[in-house]
Amino acid sequence: MSGEGIKVIAQNRKARHDYFIEASYEAGIVLTGTEVKSVRLGKVNLKNSYAEVRDGEVFLRNMHISPYEKGNIFNADPLRERKLLLNKGEINKLIGYVQQRGYSLIPLQVYLTRGLVKVQLAVARGKKLYDKRQDAAERDAKRNMERAFREFQKT
């Protein structure tokens, strides 16, 4: 997601380490005015956040948006549940994924596009410890091959 007009506000880097990403969706998010101002300042934390489907709607839980400093009584609870805006077909697909064993809905990143706050929502399956070790070993092997190739080119 690094196209034109997109400004990434927050990323969930741990998500790609802990989960296999099966599919991702772009969703709008319902925010209050002071929350939008706080998001624009980058005061968002996606750590431990997840989404759930309830009554045909998708809600994002545990996403922390710090209260806007210049806000007043209109500041909302930082950890409140926020509704995600998806069309009916996408919600039905998400319901299908979630009902399968082991799938979760996790936000990968929050970004601004054309002045609107969007969330990239992923359908993910949890990794086991040996999967994480295997990924680390593959990264190390790739890094070593690139290093050896660079040294070979120097000679």
- Does the global pTM surpass 0.85? no
Tokens of 106: 């996790």
Q: Is 149 inside any structural domain?
A: no
Q: Is 94 inside any structural domain?
A: yes
**What single-letter DSSP state applies at residue 43?**
-
Place of tokens 């934390």: 45
Beta carbons within 8 Å of 31's beta carbon, 6+ residues apart: 39, 65, 82, 117
Q: Is 34 inside any structural domain?
A: yes
Each residue of 83-106: pLDDT tens digit? 899 888 888 888 888 887 768 889
Half-sphere exposure of 140 (CA within 13 A, CB side): 6
What's the domain count of the chain? 1
Q: Is 151 inside any structural domain?
A: no
Q: Is 78 inside any structural domain?
A: yes
Q: Phi-psi category of 53—alpha, beta or left, where left has phi over 0 and alpha has psi -120 to 50? A: beta
CATH number at residue 114: 2.40.280.10
Range of the domain at 120: 6-127
Q: Is 135 inside any structural domain?
A: no
Alpha-carbon dihedral 117, 52, 100, 11, rounded to 10 degrees: 40
Q: Is 24 inside any structural domain?
A: yes
Q: What are phi and psi of 118, to 5 degrees?
A: -125, 155
Half-sphere exposure of 99 (CA within 13 A, CB side): 7
Q: Is 136 inside any structural domain?
A: no
Whether the CB-CB separation of 116 and 92 falls below 8 Å is answered with no
Each residue of 56-85: pLDDT tens digit? 888 988 988 888 887 677 677 778 888 899
Q: What percent of the chain has pLDDT over 70?
A: 95
